[in-house]
Protein backbone atom coordinates (compact mmCIF):
# COMPACT_ATOMS: atom_id res chain seq x y z
CA UNK A 1 0.00 0.00 0.00
CA UNK A 2 0.98 3.64 -0.51
CA UNK A 3 1.84 5.69 2.54
CA UNK A 4 0.89 9.35 2.75
CA UNK A 5 4.02 10.54 0.97
CA UNK A 6 3.33 8.09 -1.86
CA UNK A 7 -0.25 9.39 -2.13
CA UNK A 8 1.00 12.95 -2.37
CA UNK A 9 3.08 11.98 -5.39
CA UNK A 10 0.28 10.08 -7.15
CA UNK A 11 -0.44 11.00 -10.73
CA UNK A 12 -2.81 13.97 -10.98
CA UNK A 13 -5.44 11.99 -12.89
CA UNK A 14 -5.73 9.49 -10.05
CA UNK A 15 -5.90 12.11 -7.31
CA UNK A 16 -8.58 14.05 -9.21
CA UNK A 17 -10.70 11.15 -10.45
CA UNK A 18 -14.10 10.58 -8.87
CA UNK A 19 -13.41 6.91 -8.13
CA UNK A 20 -10.49 7.90 -5.89
CA UNK A 21 -12.43 10.66 -4.10
CA UNK A 22 -16.09 9.65 -3.98
CA UNK A 23 -17.08 6.01 -4.56
CA UNK A 24 -20.76 6.79 -4.00
CA UNK A 25 -20.80 9.40 -6.76
CA UNK A 26 -18.84 7.02 -8.98
CA UNK A 27 -21.57 4.39 -8.52
CA UNK A 28 -24.27 6.95 -9.31
CA UNK A 29 -22.66 7.98 -12.59
CA UNK A 30 -21.99 4.34 -13.49
CA UNK A 31 -25.70 3.64 -12.97
CA UNK A 32 -26.52 6.55 -15.30
CA UNK A 33 -24.22 5.20 -18.00
CA UNK A 34 -25.62 1.67 -17.66
CA UNK A 35 -29.20 2.94 -17.77
CA UNK A 36 -28.57 5.05 -20.88
CA UNK A 37 -26.76 2.22 -22.67
CA UNK A 38 -29.46 -0.28 -21.79
CA UNK A 39 -32.22 1.94 -23.16
CA UNK A 40 -30.61 3.44 -26.26
CA UNK A 41 -27.69 1.21 -27.24
CA UNK A 42 -28.35 -2.32 -26.05
CA UNK A 43 -26.48 -4.64 -23.76
CA UNK A 44 -23.21 -6.21 -24.84
CA UNK A 45 -22.40 -3.65 -27.53
CA UNK A 46 -19.14 -1.72 -27.70
CA UNK A 47 -19.99 1.77 -28.95
CA UNK A 48 -16.77 3.09 -30.54
CA UNK A 49 -17.63 5.68 -33.23
CA UNK A 50 -21.33 4.75 -33.15
CA UNK A 51 -21.50 7.41 -30.43
CA UNK A 52 -22.10 9.94 -33.22
CA UNK A 53 -25.18 8.04 -34.42
CA UNK A 54 -26.36 7.68 -30.83
CA UNK A 55 -26.28 11.46 -30.46
CA UNK A 56 -27.97 12.03 -33.83
CA UNK A 57 -30.75 9.56 -33.05
CA UNK A 58 -31.33 10.01 -29.34
CA UNK A 59 -30.03 13.44 -28.37
CA UNK A 60 -33.50 14.87 -27.85
CA UNK A 61 -33.45 17.63 -30.43
CA UNK A 62 -29.78 18.60 -30.21
CA UNK A 63 -27.91 18.99 -33.48
CA UNK A 64 -24.49 17.40 -33.99
CA UNK A 65 -21.98 19.50 -35.92
CA UNK A 66 -18.71 17.99 -37.10
CA UNK A 67 -16.01 20.25 -38.47
CA UNK A 68 -12.18 20.38 -38.40
CA UNK A 69 -10.63 23.28 -36.50
CA UNK A 70 -6.85 23.72 -36.62
CA UNK A 71 -6.66 24.02 -32.86
CA UNK A 72 -6.12 20.87 -30.78
CA UNK A 73 -6.97 22.85 -27.65
CA UNK A 74 -10.58 23.11 -28.79
CA UNK A 75 -12.13 19.66 -28.52
CA UNK A 76 -15.78 20.57 -28.66
CA UNK A 77 -18.64 22.42 -27.05
CA UNK A 78 -22.36 22.38 -26.51
CA UNK A 79 -24.40 25.56 -26.70
CA UNK A 80 -27.85 27.04 -26.97
CA UNK A 81 -28.10 29.23 -30.07
CA UNK A 82 -31.42 30.92 -30.78
CA UNK A 83 -33.29 28.29 -28.77
CA UNK A 84 -31.60 25.34 -30.49
CA UNK A 85 -28.99 23.08 -28.91
CA UNK A 86 -25.81 22.30 -30.81
CA UNK A 87 -23.02 19.85 -30.03
CA UNK A 88 -19.82 20.61 -31.92
CA UNK A 89 -16.93 18.14 -32.27
CA UNK A 90 -13.56 19.17 -33.68
CA UNK A 91 -12.81 16.50 -36.30
CA UNK A 92 -9.22 17.65 -36.68
CA UNK A 93 -8.52 15.67 -33.51
CA UNK A 94 -7.63 11.96 -33.51
CA UNK A 95 -10.85 9.95 -33.82
CA UNK A 96 -10.47 8.45 -30.34
CA UNK A 97 -10.59 11.97 -28.86
CA UNK A 98 -13.56 12.91 -31.03
CA UNK A 99 -15.42 9.86 -29.70
CA UNK A 100 -14.59 10.68 -26.09
CA UNK A 101 -15.55 14.33 -26.50
CA UNK A 102 -18.90 13.33 -28.03
CA UNK A 103 -19.68 11.06 -25.07
CA UNK A 104 -18.56 13.82 -22.68
CA UNK A 105 -20.91 16.35 -24.29
CA UNK A 106 -23.73 13.82 -24.27
CA UNK A 107 -23.53 13.82 -20.47
CA UNK A 108 -23.96 17.60 -20.36
CA UNK A 109 -26.94 17.31 -22.69
CA UNK A 110 -28.59 14.59 -20.60
CA UNK A 111 -27.94 15.99 -17.14
CA UNK A 112 -27.46 19.74 -17.63
CA UNK A 113 -30.29 20.27 -20.09
CA UNK A 114 -32.11 22.80 -17.92
CA UNK A 115 -29.02 25.00 -17.73
CA UNK A 116 -28.51 24.63 -21.48
CA UNK A 117 -32.07 25.62 -22.24
CA UNK A 118 -31.52 28.72 -20.10
CA UNK A 119 -28.58 29.73 -22.30
CA UNK A 120 -25.93 27.79 -20.38
CA UNK A 121 -23.04 27.12 -22.74
CA UNK A 122 -20.11 24.81 -22.44
CA UNK A 123 -16.74 24.82 -24.17
CA UNK A 124 -14.08 22.15 -23.77
CA UNK A 125 -10.44 22.95 -24.26
CA UNK A 126 -7.86 20.31 -23.51
CA UNK A 127 -6.59 22.10 -20.42
CA UNK A 128 -10.13 22.14 -19.03
CA UNK A 129 -10.54 18.37 -19.03
CA UNK A 130 -10.48 17.22 -15.42
CA UNK A 131 -10.05 20.72 -14.00
CA UNK A 132 -13.65 21.37 -12.96
CA UNK A 133 -15.80 18.95 -11.02
CA UNK A 134 -18.65 18.87 -13.53
CA UNK A 135 -16.07 18.14 -16.23
CA UNK A 136 -14.82 15.20 -14.19
CA UNK A 137 -18.38 13.90 -13.97
CA UNK A 138 -18.77 14.18 -17.75
CA UNK A 139 -15.37 12.55 -18.31
CA UNK A 140 -16.33 9.67 -16.04
CA UNK A 141 -19.69 9.18 -17.77
CA UNK A 142 -17.94 9.12 -21.15
CA UNK A 143 -15.43 6.53 -19.94
CA UNK A 144 -18.13 4.36 -18.35
CA UNK A 145 -20.34 4.53 -21.44
CA UNK A 146 -17.51 3.73 -23.85
CA UNK A 147 -15.81 1.13 -21.63
CA UNK A 148 -18.48 -0.61 -19.53
CA UNK A 149 -17.24 -2.74 -16.65
CA UNK A 150 -18.76 -6.01 -17.88
CA UNK A 151 -17.46 -5.62 -21.44
CA UNK A 152 -13.99 -4.65 -20.25
CA UNK A 153 -13.76 -7.76 -18.08
CA UNK A 154 -15.03 -9.85 -21.00
CA UNK A 155 -12.39 -8.48 -23.37
CA UNK A 156 -9.64 -9.00 -20.79
CA UNK A 157 -10.61 -12.67 -20.69
CA UNK A 158 -10.90 -12.99 -24.47
CA UNK A 159 -7.50 -11.36 -25.04
CA UNK A 160 -6.00 -13.41 -22.19
CA UNK A 161 -4.59 -10.34 -20.43
CA UNK A 162 -3.26 -10.83 -16.91
CA UNK A 163 -2.67 -8.14 -14.29
CA UNK A 164 0.64 -9.65 -13.13
CA UNK A 165 2.34 -9.71 -16.53
CA UNK A 166 0.46 -6.78 -18.06
CA UNK A 167 2.45 -4.98 -20.76
CA UNK A 168 1.92 -1.83 -22.79
CA UNK A 169 0.81 -3.76 -25.85
CA UNK A 170 -2.02 -5.31 -23.82
CA UNK A 171 -3.35 -1.86 -22.95
CA UNK A 172 -3.02 -0.77 -26.58
CA UNK A 173 -5.06 -3.79 -27.68
CA UNK A 174 -7.82 -2.79 -25.27
CA UNK A 175 -7.65 0.78 -26.55
CA UNK A 176 -8.22 -0.57 -30.05
CA UNK A 177 -11.24 -2.61 -28.94
CA UNK A 178 -12.97 0.31 -27.19
CA UNK A 179 -11.61 3.24 -29.25
CA UNK A 180 -10.61 5.36 -26.27
CA UNK A 181 -7.45 7.31 -25.36
CA UNK A 182 -4.66 5.64 -23.41
CA UNK A 183 -5.20 7.42 -20.10
CA UNK A 184 -8.92 6.63 -20.22
CA UNK A 185 -8.14 2.94 -20.57
CA UNK A 186 -5.63 2.97 -17.70
CA UNK A 187 -8.15 4.66 -15.42
CA UNK A 188 -10.86 2.16 -16.35
CA UNK A 189 -8.50 -0.71 -15.50
CA UNK A 190 -7.89 0.97 -12.14
CA UNK A 191 -11.59 1.66 -11.50
CA UNK A 192 -12.55 -1.97 -12.18
CA UNK A 193 -9.90 -3.23 -9.77
CA UNK A 194 -7.75 -4.80 -12.47
CA UNK A 195 -4.91 -2.39 -11.66
CA UNK A 196 -3.75 -1.43 -8.22
CA UNK A 197 -3.40 2.26 -7.45
CA UNK A 198 0.41 2.08 -7.60
CA UNK A 199 0.34 0.22 -10.94
CA UNK A 200 -2.12 2.69 -12.46
CA UNK A 201 0.18 5.49 -11.36
CA UNK A 202 3.09 3.80 -13.12
CA UNK A 203 1.22 3.27 -16.39
CA UNK A 204 -0.12 6.83 -16.43
CA UNK A 205 3.43 8.18 -16.45
CA UNK A 206 4.25 6.56 -19.80
CA UNK A 207 4.20 9.14 -22.64
CA UNK A 208 1.17 8.64 -24.85
CA UNK A 209 1.72 11.16 -27.67
CA UNK A 210 5.48 10.86 -28.24
CA UNK A 211 6.24 9.45 -31.70
CA UNK A 212 9.63 8.17 -30.56
CA UNK A 213 8.71 6.38 -27.33
CA UNK A 214 5.76 5.09 -25.34
CA UNK A 215 2.20 4.46 -26.48
CA UNK A 216 2.07 6.09 -29.91
CA UNK A 217 5.45 4.64 -30.85
CA UNK A 218 4.32 1.10 -29.93
CA UNK A 219 1.00 1.54 -31.74
CA UNK A 220 2.78 2.47 -34.95
CA UNK A 221 5.41 -0.23 -34.56
CA UNK A 222 2.81 -2.98 -34.12
CA UNK A 223 0.16 -1.29 -36.30
CA UNK A 224 -2.55 -1.66 -33.68
CA UNK A 225 -5.27 0.92 -33.11
CA UNK A 226 -4.06 3.31 -35.81
CA UNK A 227 -7.60 3.75 -37.19
CA UNK A 228 -8.52 5.62 -34.00
CA UNK A 229 -5.55 7.97 -34.43
CA UNK A 230 -6.83 9.22 -37.78
CA UNK A 231 -7.72 12.90 -37.94
CA UNK A 232 -10.87 12.38 -39.98
CA UNK A 233 -11.57 16.08 -40.69
CA UNK A 234 -15.15 15.06 -41.39
CA UNK A 235 -17.76 17.75 -42.00
CA UNK A 236 -21.40 17.44 -41.01
CA UNK A 237 -23.61 20.51 -40.70
CA UNK A 238 -26.81 19.00 -39.30
CA UNK A 239 -29.40 21.72 -40.02
CA UNK A 240 -27.01 24.65 -39.62
CA UNK A 241 -27.38 25.64 -43.27
CA UNK A 242 -31.14 25.99 -42.83
CA UNK A 243 -30.66 27.89 -39.59
CA UNK A 244 -28.29 30.36 -41.24
CA UNK A 245 -30.71 30.89 -44.12
CA UNK A 246 -33.61 31.38 -41.71
CA UNK A 247 -31.66 33.98 -39.75
CA UNK A 248 -30.39 36.33 -42.43
CA UNK A 249 -31.12 39.32 -40.26
CA UNK A 250 -29.29 37.93 -37.21
CA UNK A 251 -25.94 36.84 -38.59
CA UNK A 252 -23.71 34.39 -36.76
CA UNK A 253 -20.71 36.47 -37.86
CA UNK A 254 -21.01 40.23 -37.20
CA UNK A 255 -21.15 42.51 -40.25
CA UNK A 256 -21.38 39.67 -42.70
CA UNK A 257 -24.67 38.67 -44.28
CA UNK A 258 -25.13 34.91 -44.36
CA UNK A 259 -24.80 33.53 -47.88
CA UNK A 260 -27.36 30.99 -48.96
CA UNK A 261 -25.15 28.26 -50.36
CA UNK A 262 -23.05 25.40 -49.03
CA UNK A 263 -19.78 26.75 -50.42
CA UNK A 264 -20.03 29.83 -48.25
CA UNK A 265 -20.90 27.79 -45.17
CA UNK A 266 -17.89 25.54 -45.68
CA UNK A 267 -15.53 28.51 -46.06
CA UNK A 268 -17.02 30.26 -43.06
CA UNK A 269 -17.51 27.36 -40.67
CA UNK A 270 -14.19 27.74 -38.87
CA UNK A 271 -14.81 31.43 -38.31
CA UNK A 272 -18.34 30.69 -37.10
CA UNK A 273 -17.13 28.25 -34.47
CA UNK A 274 -14.39 30.59 -33.33
CA UNK A 275 -17.03 33.27 -32.83
CA UNK A 276 -19.24 30.83 -30.90
CA UNK A 277 -16.24 29.78 -28.86
CA UNK A 278 -15.47 33.38 -27.91
CA UNK A 279 -19.06 33.96 -26.82
CA UNK A 280 -19.10 30.75 -24.81
CA UNK A 281 -15.81 31.51 -23.03
136-188 residue pLDDT tens: 999 999 999 999 999 999 999 999 999 889 999 999 999 999 999 999 999 99
This prediction has a pTM of: 0.84
- At 242 the pLDDT is 63
Q: What does the pLDDT look like over 39-58, one tens digit per residue?
A: 999 888 999 999 999 998 88
Dihedral angle sign, alpha carbons of residues 146, 38, 30, 168: negative
Is residue 90 over pLDDT 50?
A: yes
Is residue 194 over pLDDT 90?
A: yes
Q: Is 250 exposed, middle or buried (0-12, 13-18, 19+ CB in 10 A)?
A: exposed
| 192 contacts 143 by C-beta, under 8 angstroms | no
Amino acid sequence: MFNMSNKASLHKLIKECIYYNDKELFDTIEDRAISFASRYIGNGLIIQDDIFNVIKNYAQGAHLLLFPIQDDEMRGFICNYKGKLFIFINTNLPLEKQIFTAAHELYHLLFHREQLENAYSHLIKSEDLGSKFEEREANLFAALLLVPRTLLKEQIEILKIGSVNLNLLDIIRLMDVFAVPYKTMVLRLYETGFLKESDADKWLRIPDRDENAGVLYEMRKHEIGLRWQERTRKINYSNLKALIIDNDNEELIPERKAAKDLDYIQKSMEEIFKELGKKIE
